[in-house]
């Protein structure tokens, strides 16, 4: 065994150790986020909101206040509680967040963010060590793609937090899926360090695959926002029509941003990354011409990448069309993200084509 080979194996072992360590820290962050939600569920915000948005609460609050004035009596109507915005309005405040206004819940939330940042750095170190062990970009197979994808997804979340965006509610959902992603990577998808096939020896690997990973991470964040929007919209609709959501739904959904805010967030995220996805497909076509002598051949990977592009284009168009805003457009966004997931997992695992050299 040469010194270079031994060094590469040592780096590969370091990478594996760092990935497992990151999973351990993500697990701690997951429990901290759980604690934040649990302490938030017992806060005064939850009880107060339930009291003023239900018929029982309104009855318990008593009649309108009557104030005697000189020369007459003035009746002060009890203020109305705004539960959702009117069309085009921005008069619904977002929920207080997972902590629900509880100080201890907020403390656990801050601990969770710190642990998430630490896990991100450890996982990033694992990705870098993997790259050093193979002496190339760590995107040659699904294992490497997975560990890089989850790293970038967490990086997107932390970047939004650093920009003072109201996305802390995303933490629990993010760490849950990251743990599932890494668990799948180190078990089913794990591939030992190896060199690339000749077709992948190109600087386009750095350009095409890196942008695909970034797009997938941002599309994932947009999909979570869309799913939560659908739940929050149903919750607001039920309250508006006089219904009373269940205790669990109330405890969780009242602390999220309003449906209008979630819808806007998902739209802006998807719209921002869509041009980069367009570039990803174009870069892939240029790389295909260099590697295989043709720009486009309707390979399964190419076909589903294009289907994903069309689906997101339909979503953006629907979102700008009055009759398709809201839930209809949200369903299209989820279909589009489903196409992206199938393009990655389904095509790589179940469909053969020119991209099959990456294997699992």
The yes-or-no verdict on residue 146 having pLDDT over 60 is: yes
Per-residue confidence (pLDDT) for residue 65, from 0 to 100: 45
Three-state DSSP class for residue 75: strand
What pLDDT shows up at residue 138? Answer: 83
For 328-351, the pLDDT digits (tens) are 999 999 999 999 999 888 887 777
Q: Bigger pLDDT: 66 or 220?
A: 220
CB neighbour list of residue 99: distance below 8 Å, 6 or more residues apart = 36, 39, 40, 43, 105, 106, 108, 109, 255
- Residue-wise pLDDT for 164-207, tens only, equals 888 999 999 999 999 999 999 999 888 887 666 666 667 888 88
Residues 38-51: b if buried by 16+ CB within 10 A, e if exposed: bbbbebebbeebbe
- Between 74-88, 160-174, 321-335, the lowest mean confidence (pLDDT) is in 74-88
β-pair partners for 350: none
Mean pLDDT for 48-71 is 48
> Phi and psi for 72 in degrees, rounded to 5?
165, -175
* Residue 132 to residue 233: CA distance in whole angstroms: 47
User: What is residue 345's predicted lDDT score, i.e. its pLDDT?
Assistant: 83
What is the percentage of the chain residues whose pLDDT exceeds 90? 45
Q: What is the pLDDT of residue 129?
A: 93
- Please tell me the distance from the alpha carbon of residue 91 to that of residue 165, in angstroms, as a whole number: 19
Query: What's the rounded Cα separation, in Å, for the pair 188 and 190?
Result: 6
- pLDDT, one tens digit per residue, over 94-106 is 888 888 888 888 9
Q: So what's the pLDDT on residue 196?
A: 66
Mean pLDDT, residues 142-164 taken together: 93
Three-state secondary structure call for residue 100: coil
pLDDT digits (tens, 9 = 90+) for 122-145: 999 999 999 988 888 888 788 888
Best CA proximity match to 100, nearest among 139, 46, 177: 46
Query: Which one, of 167, 261, 260, lies nearest residue 220 by Cα?
Result: 167
Band of residue 88 on the pLDDT scale cut at 50, 70, 90? very low
Query: Closest Cα to residue 101, out of 173, 160, 54, 41?
Result: 41
Residue 242 has pLDDT above 60, yes or no: yes
Degrees, nearest 5: CA angle 45-49-54: 160
Largest CA distance in the chain: 102
Whether residue 58 has pLDDT greater than 70: no
Q: What is the rounded distance in angstroms from the CA atom of residue 143 to the CA atom of residue 159? A: 24
Among the ranges given (5-9, 21-25, 57-61, 304-308), the one the predictor scored with the smallest mean pLDDT = 57-61
CA 352 from chain center: how many Å? 29
Distance CA 133, CA 346 (A): 28
- More reliable by pLDDT, 347 or 291: 347
Tell me the torsion sign for CA atoms 279, 285, 291, 293: negative
Q: What is the DSSP letter of 343?
A: I
**pLDDT value at residue 354:** 58
Residue 252 pLDDT: 86
Q: In the predicted model, is pLDDT for residue 77 greater than 50?
A: no
């Amino acid at each position: 065994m040469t010194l270079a080979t031994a060094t590469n194996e040592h780096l590969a072992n370091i990478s594996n150790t760092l990935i497992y360590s990151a999973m351990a820290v993500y697990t701690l962050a997951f429990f901290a986020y759980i604690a934040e939600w649990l302490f938030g569920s017992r806060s005064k915000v939850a009880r107060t909101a339930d009291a003023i948005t239900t018929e029982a609460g309104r009855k318990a609050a008593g009649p309108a206040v009557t104030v005697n004035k000189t020369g007459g009596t003035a009746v002060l109507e009890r203020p109305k509680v705004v539960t959702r915005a009117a069309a085009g309005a921005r008069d619904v405040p977002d929920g207080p967040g997972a902590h629900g206004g509880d100080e201890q819940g907020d403390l656990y939330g801050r601990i969770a963010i710190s642990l998430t940042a630490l896990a991100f750095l450890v996982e990033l170190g694992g990705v870098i060590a993997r790259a050093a062990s193979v002496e190339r970009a760590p995107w040659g197979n699904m294992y490497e793609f997975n560990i890089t994808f989850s790293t970038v997804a967490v990086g997107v979340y932390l970047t939004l937090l650093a920009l003072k965006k109201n996305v802390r509610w995303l933490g629990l959902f993010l760490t849950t899926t990251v743990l599932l992603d890494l668990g799948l990577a180190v078990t089913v998808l794990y591939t030992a360090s190896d060199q690339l096939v000749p077709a992948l020896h190109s600087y386009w690997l750095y350009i095409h695959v890196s942008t695909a990973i970034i797009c997938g991470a941002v599309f994932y964040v947009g999909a979570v926002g869309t799913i939560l929007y659908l739940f929050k919209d149903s919750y607001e609709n039920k309250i508006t029509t006089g219904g009373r959501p269940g205790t669990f739904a109330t405890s969780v959904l009242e602390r999220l941003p309003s449906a209008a805010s979630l819808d806007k967030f998902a739209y802006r995220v998807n719209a921002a990354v869509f041009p980069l996805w367009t570039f990803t497909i174009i870069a892939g076509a240029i790389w295909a011409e260099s590697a295989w002598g043709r720009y486009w051949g309707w390979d399964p990977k190419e076909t589903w990448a294009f289907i994903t592009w069309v689906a997101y284009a339909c979503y953006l168009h629907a979102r700008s069309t009055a009759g398709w805003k809201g839930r209809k457009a949200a369903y299209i966004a989820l279909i589009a993200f489903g196409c992206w997931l199938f393009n990655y997992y389904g095509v790589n695992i179940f469909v053969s084509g020119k991209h099959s050299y990456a294997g699992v």
